[in-house]
Structures are given as structure tokens and as C-alpha cells.
Amino acid sequence: MKEKQITDKKARTNTIVAFAIFFVAFGLGVAAWFWLKKLPKETGTLGGTQMPLREGLNFNEQVFGSLFSQNKLVKTYAASEAVKQVRVNGNVGMKPPLDSAAWKLQVVKSMGDTLMISMEDIKKLPKMDLVFEFKCIEGWSQKTWWGGVKFADFIKAYGLEPEAKMTYVGMVTPDGQYYVGLDMPSALHPQTILCYEMNGKPLPINQGYPLRLIIPVKYGIKHIKRLGTISFSNKRPRDYWAERGYDYYSGH
Amino acid sequence: MKKIRIKHLLAVRWLHWLNFPILFVMIWSGLLIYWANDVYAIKIDGKTFISFFPDSFHKALNLPFRLAEGMAYHFLFMWVFFINGFLYVLYTLISGEWKYLVPDKRSLKQAWQVLLHDLHIRKYEPPFVKYNAAQRIAYTAIIFMGFGSILTGLAIYKPVQFSWITWLCGGYKAARLEHFILTIGYVLFFLVHIIQVIKAGWKNFKSMITGFEVISTDKPVGNKINTTTSPDQPNKVV
């Protein structure tokens, strides 16, 4: 450690300056904190949080979204490792009784015409089983077993390639109460499935019968249950939890 | 005149003090996130010994139902935490300050002696330069802990894109627990640090702000004694 001689005056001045800077910096930090806390929350599709925090989430989406590759697969497990008691965490969009006989998946094509697809037709497409660690945004996770049709296969089977060139997919429950927005690369990930089976049996009602989304590259909030309508857009579609301050991307 | 010792470099002081609010925001927002799945506890024989955390703790700190807020803060300030830590490590390496901070082969034994000394069991403290052996271990360990927090954090934040990190941590659930344990580690470090700072006294604390510590002061007893003028050098002060 260096030692040196300084005058009393210099020692005093240096001390005062250092403490002044310390307290000013501390004050600025506290002021910035209260400024951020008092900022009104944004509204709309990217709502529920203050602008700088939302900018942070969107910045992260750009940084980590750029690492995303459809070749990176989510780790899978044997069906025997899947839990039998699958956790049920939400029922928004599933409150009205379901008329399963009348249920059809609506796919809104770009020109305004809508496909109405029955469950029988969806089941005709190649089926895929997937056991993976389902991750809830709350922090818990479970190894669960799902079965259905790969979303990318579904797109091809119904000639939706032009729509799949857009930036986002929006999915909504039949009652319009729950809705998610997905970036296209994640939606077309080879492990994203339109799911109609859990543990080798048809989906239970509380898990989204007759059809739900399983998208292992996202948190559970994006795995919409009881699918009603699918649409495509270059603008971010509405997202239930993003409107409430959560990260729109919510991807892994 | 004062004889001073330059104790803490300007950059080290800034990075140290900046880390205080940054770590505070990270721990606070981490608690907001953790509340949503507050499953950890220390159980012995099926009996809960310590629960992380009791409801009263969550309520007292106003943590419940603020998951989205916690995540938004955590994932913004993670960058600040990372950049600050990165600059600190870089600076200690370039400035050579690391030589005072990294433990050597005697440090473990000496740290034990320091501990005994601090607990008033042992009378003499082993000699040291700038930081004692216990400080060297603690200040180096905290860097590794920071590194661990970034790794385990990435493992739970992007377990698909960084699947190899998640694998290194022993899986998603393990990474979350490790991330939590590291946080408890920071809190314990902080408590010991505060106690030591209080024990070391005002002069030591002041040097972390000013950078220097006064070793001795030459007090002029009186002008007559200290100042002599000779005819050929009338302005020379002896």
C-alpha cells in the first residue's frame, strides 16, 4: 500500500469531497428508485408495468431471442418418469360449460376466411408424444407427458405456410377470456404441439379438453388450455399475462 | 502535514458501493419471485426446523402477489449486477489489487486463527498486508458466489438455450435451489461484513469512502520550535 504526505488542508478537502460525492450519489440512487416506483404503469398489450421495466424485458427478448434455435430441443424423458398427479394452476377461459359436440378449432387465415377444424380431423394428423419438464413461471416444475400434433405439421397440413411467414401467432379460448401471443420461431419449434392427450388418455377438462397448446420452450402461462381460435399477425397479439406486467416472450 | 496510506482505489470504492444497492434490488426482487413458490425449508426428521419463509415474513416485507414486478426488476438489474461484477474483477486483475485479495496456501490456517482472535479466544492475530486471511477467503469466495449466481440464474432463466449450464447445475430444480442458497450466502456475508465494519471502527469505514487512512499527523507544537529562519535561506521552514 502506498503511503504519502499531504497537507492537513488537502486531507480535509479530500475527505469532504469524497463524502459529498458519496451522499449525492446515494441521494440520486434513492431519487431514481422513487421515480421508477411512482411512474404510472403502462396499459395495453405490453401493460401492467412501468416503461423502463418493460423496455428491460423487451431488450432481454431481443438478446436471448437471438440465441433461439429450432435445433435446440427441450430435454425429454421416458413416459414412466411422468407424474400421475399433474398440477392444475389456472382456469381462466374455461369457466363456461363446454359444448364438446359443437367444438371446432377456428383458424383465421389472412384474407379473412376462417377454417373450422374438427377434433376428428386434427387426430388424423401424425401424433407425437412428448415427456418434458413443464415449467411454471411461479417457479415449480413437473415432468409431464403430453400427446398431440406438432404445430409445424398442422401448419403444413392446412396450407398455412403463408400465414406462418408472419411474426406472431395469437391463440384465444372460445370465450375470449384467456389469450396468448407467441413469436413464430417458438410456435414452429419441433416440440410445440396442439395437444389432446395427457398421460396417454384424452385431456381432462381442467387440463384444457379437447385441445390445448404445449410449447416446451415457454413458461406454462403460454400453454393455453381449451383452444378456440388461432390467428396470425405481424403485430403482437394480445397476451393475458403480458397485459398484467409479465414478459411477453416468457421463453426458455 | 499528515502521513496517509492509500487503502482503497477509486474504482474499487465505486464498484463496491454500487454493488450495495444493486444486490439489494436483486435480493428484494428475488424474494418477490421466490414467494410464488416458497417451498424451501430445513427439515430434520420430517420436522420443519427453518421455513423459508414464514407467512409473517412475506407479509412484513410486502412480498405476496408481486411476481411480475419481481421478475421485471430482477431481469433488468441482472445486467447491472453482471456489469458491475465484471468491471470489479477486471479492475482488480489489471490493477494488481488481486494480490491482496486472493488467498494463499497459509490462508486457511491463518483464517482459523483470525476467527479465534475475533472471538476473543486467541490473543494474537497473524500478521497480514491489507486484508487478513479470513478477509482474503471471504472476498474471493464472494466473487465465486457472484459467478455462481449468474450461472445458476441463467440455468433457470433460459434452461433450453443454456441447457448445458442447467445440466452443469444438476438440473432445473437443483439450479433454482442453488440460486436460492447463494442468496442466503450473500445475506450471511452481509451480516458478518457489517459486524466487522462496526468492529473495525470509523477510521476504517471512512477509508472506504475517501480511499485513504491517516497514519500520523505532525502537529506543529508552535511556530517558534518548528520554524527557524537562517539569514541565507530566509523562507526555509524546517
pLDDT in tens, chain B (238 residues): 889 988 899 999 999 999 999 999 999 999 999 999 999 999 988 888 899 999 999 999 999 999 999 999 999 999 999 999 999 999 999 999 898 899 988 888 888 888 888 888 888 888 888 888 889 999 999 999 999 999 999 999 999 999 999 999 999 999 999 999 999 999 999 999 999 999 999 999 999 999 999 988 876 555 544 444 444 443 434 4
Tell the residue number behind the cell numbers 392444475, with chain if given. A88
Number of neighbouring beta carbons within 10 Å of residue B54: 12
Angstroms from B158 CA to nearest CA on chain A? 4
Instruction: Give Cβ neighbours of residue A221 (< 8 Å, ≥ 6 apart).
Output: A90, A136, A137, A180, A240, A241, A246, A250
Does a structural domain hold residue A35?
Answer: no
Angstroms from B54 CA to nearest CA on chain A? 18
Does a structural domain hold residue A41?
Answer: no
Does a structural domain hold residue A96?
Answer: no
Is residue A65's pLDDT more than 50?
A: yes
Chain A residues close to B172, C-beta within 8 Å: 133, 135, 141
- pLDDT at site B222: 52
Angstroms from A246 CA to nearest CA on chain B? 5
Q: Phi/psi of residue A218, each to 5°?
A: -130, 160
Q: What is the DSSP string of A189-204?
A: STT-EEEEEETTEEPP
C-alpha cell at position B158: 433460459
What is the chain A residue with the closest CA to B216?
A5
Amino acid (one-letter) located at A143: K
Which tens digits make up the pLDDT trace of A199-235? 999 999 999 999 999 999 999 999 999 999 999 999 9
Does a structural domain hold residue A136?
Answer: yes
- pLDDT at site B74: 98
Does a structural domain hold residue A63?
Answer: no
- pLDDT at site B235: 40
What is the chain B residue with the closest CA to A3?
B5
Angstroms from B100 CA to nearest CA on chain A? 10
3-class SS of residue A104: coil
Chain B residues close to A133, C-beta within 8 Å: 172
Strand ranges for chain A from DSSP E: 3-6, 105-108, 114-117, 128-135, 141-150, 168-172, 179-183, 193-198, 201-202, 212-214, 229-233
Residues 4-63 of A with CB under 8 A from B: 4-8, 11, 14-15, 18-19, 22, 25, 29, 33, 48-50, 52-54, 56-57, 60
User: CA-to-CA distance for B72 and B59, rounded, in angstroms?
Assistant: 21
What CATH number has the domain bearing residue A137? 3.90.420.10
Domain count within chain A? 1
User: CA-to-CA distance for A24 and A17, rounded, in angstroms?
Assistant: 10
3-class SS of residue B43: strand
User: CA-to-CA distance for A70 and B63, rounded, in angstroms?
Assistant: 37
Chain B residues close to A8, C-beta within 8 Å: 1-2, 217
Q: Which residue from A79, A36, A93, A131 is spatially nearest to A207, judged by alpha carbons?
A: A93
- Domain boundaries, position A106: 71-88+101-244
Is A49 in contact with B33 (Cβ distance < 8 A)?
Answer: no
CB-CB contact of A92 with A240 (8 Å): yes
Does a structural domain hold residue A8?
Answer: no
Q: What is the DSSP string of B67-123?
A: HHHHHHHHHHHHHHHHHHHHHHHHHHHHHSTHHHHS--TTHHHHHHHHHHHHTTSSS
Number of neighbouring beta carbons within 10 Å of residue A246: 24
C-alpha cell at position B209: 469512502
Does a structural domain hold residue A172?
Answer: yes
3-class SS of residue A18: helix
What is the 8-class DSSP label of residue A126? P
Does a structural domain hold residue A221?
Answer: yes
